[in-house]
Amino acid sequence: MTATEVKVLAASDVAPGSARRVEVEGHRIAVVRLGDDWYAIGDTCSHADFSLSEGDVWEEERELECPKHGSTFSLETGEPRTLPATQPVPVYRVRVDGDDVWVALP
C-alpha cells in the first residue's frame, strides 16, 4: 500500500518547540516542530481520548506529553514512554517544501 501526501498546514503556523493539531481525511494528527525537524503522530492519547497536541513538547527527549494523565509518546516511533498509556499512537512521515507541510497518510 502506498501513502498519499496531503498538505496539512503552513510551516509558519507552527512555532519551534510546539505542536498543532490538524484533521485530515479522518485522521487527527499532532504536527510537531523541533527546530528544523518535523514530526507527525496520532493526536489522540491511546490511554484516554484526549488531544496530545495540547500537551507539552519535550524537545530533548523528542516526546509529546498527554496533558490529561501525563503519558509521554515518542515523536519518532509513537511508542508510549511513560504510564498510564501502554499502546502506541500512529506516526506519519512529514515533508516540508518551502512553507508547506505535507503528511503522508496510509
For domain 4-105, the CATH architecture is: 3-layer Sandwich (2.102)
Residue 36 φ/ψ, nearest 5 degrees? -95, 0
| 25 closest CA partner among 49, 4, 11 | 4
pTM, two decimals, is: 0.94
Task: Give the model confidence (pLDDT) of 29-84 as tens digits.
Answer: 999 999 999 999 999 999 998 999 999 999 999 999 999 999 999 999 999 999 99
47 Cβ contact list (under 8 Å, min separation 6): 66, 68, 69, 71, 80, 84, 85, 86, 87
CA distances from 27 to 19, 83, 103, 104 (A): 16, 24, 11, 11
Q: What's the pLDDT score for residue 16?
A: 97
